[in-house]
């Protein structure tokens, strides 16, 4: 996976993972494992991802300032890194959702022709 440019129409889907992460964090702070679990359980088999590939996306989004990280205690009292949505992240999610909706309409037209 190479450089990301959200304005490139072709990378719309690449942004899908980021969008899913943002969507997941909308509910509140979570650690990486919980995020991956949530994405897996909500998207089904087709989004079977190497779980590790979640982290580069998280770091990238952290770099861009969409999310923030902090160490805390997990449900089983383990030290875990929690991610929280920033205001910028919230705004990005709205943008992404709009883009996605346009994009998926286009995909649908392709996949299920009239």
Partner 1 sequence: MSLERDIEDEVRFHLEMRTRANIEGGMSPEEARLDAERRFGDPEKVRQAGRMYLKGLGSGSGSPTSPSRAVRERRTLWERLLSLASSLRQDFVVGIRMLVRHPFLTGAAVLSLALGIGANTANFSIFYGVLIRDLPFERAGGLVFVDAWNPERGDGDAPVTWADLQALRSSGVFDGVEAFDTRSFTLTGGDRPERVAGAAVTPGLFRLLGTNPQTGRLFLPEEGAEAGFESVALISDRLWKGRFGGDPDLLGKTVHINGREITVVGIMDPGFRFPEREDLWLPLGTDDPTDHMARSMIGVGRLREGTGFAAARDVAVRWSEDAATQFPETHGGWTLRAQPFRYGFVDAGARRFLSLLVAAVGLVLLLACANVANLLLARASDRRQELAVRSSLGAGRLRLVQQVLVESLALGLTGGALGVLVAKLWLDFFSGAIPEEMTFWMEVGIDRTILLYALSITLGTSLLFGLLPAFQASRANLGESLRQGSRSVLGGRGRARAALVIAEVGLAVILLPSATLMVRSFMALQHADPGFEDASLLSFRIVQAGDQYDDPAARGVYFREVAQRLGALPGAVTAAATSAIPADDGGSPIRVLPEGTPEDEALYASAILSTRGFFETLGVELMDGRAFSASEELDPDADVVIVGKRVADRLWPGEDPMGRSVVLPETGTFRVIGVAPDLQYEEFGEDLEGARLQLHFPYGIGGNRGMAVLLRATGDPGRLIPSVREELASIDPSLAPYDILTMPERRALTTWEQELFGKSFAVFGAIALLLALCGIYGVIAYSVASRTREIGIRIALGARPGGVQSQVVKDALTLAGLGAGLGLVVSLAFARALRGIVFGVNTADPLVFVGSVAAMLLTAVAAGWLPAHRAARVDPTEALRAE
List interacting residues with partner 1 (CB under 8 A): 1, 8-14, 16-17, 31-33, 36-37, 45-56, 59-60, 62-63, 69, 74, 78-81, 106-107, 109-111, 113-114
CB of 98 to partner 1, least distance (A): 18
CB of 30 to partner 1, least distance (A): 12
Q: List, in order, residues 6 or more apart from 23 with CB less than 8 Å away.
A: 93, 97
- A 10 A CB-CB count for 22 gives 23
CB of 90 to partner 1, least distance (A): 20
E strands present in 11-113? 30-31, 67-73, 79-85
E strands present in 1-114? 30-31, 67-73, 79-85
Q: Between 65 and 95, whose beta carbon lies closer to partner 1?
A: 65
Q: Between 78 and 87, whose beta carbon lies closer to partner 1?
A: 78
Nearest 5 degrees, angle CA 84-CA 59-CA 97? Answer: 60
Q: Between 59 and 97, whose beta carbon lies closer to partner 1?
A: 59
């Amino acid at each position: 996976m190479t450089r990301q440019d959200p304005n490139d129409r072709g990378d719309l889907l690449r942004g899908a993972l980021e969008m899913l992460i943002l969507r997941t964090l909308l509910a509140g702070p979570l650690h990486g494992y919980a995020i991956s679990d949530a994405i897996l359980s909500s998207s089904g088999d087709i989004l079977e991802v190497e779980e590790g590939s979640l982290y580069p996306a998280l770091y990238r989004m952290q770099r861009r300032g969409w999310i923030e990280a902090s160490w805390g205690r997990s449900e089983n009292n383990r030290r875990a890194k929690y991610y929280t949505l920033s205001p910028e992240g919230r705004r990005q999610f709205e943008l992404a959702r709009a883009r996605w909706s346009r994009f998926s309409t286009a995909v649908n037209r392709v996949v299920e022709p009239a």
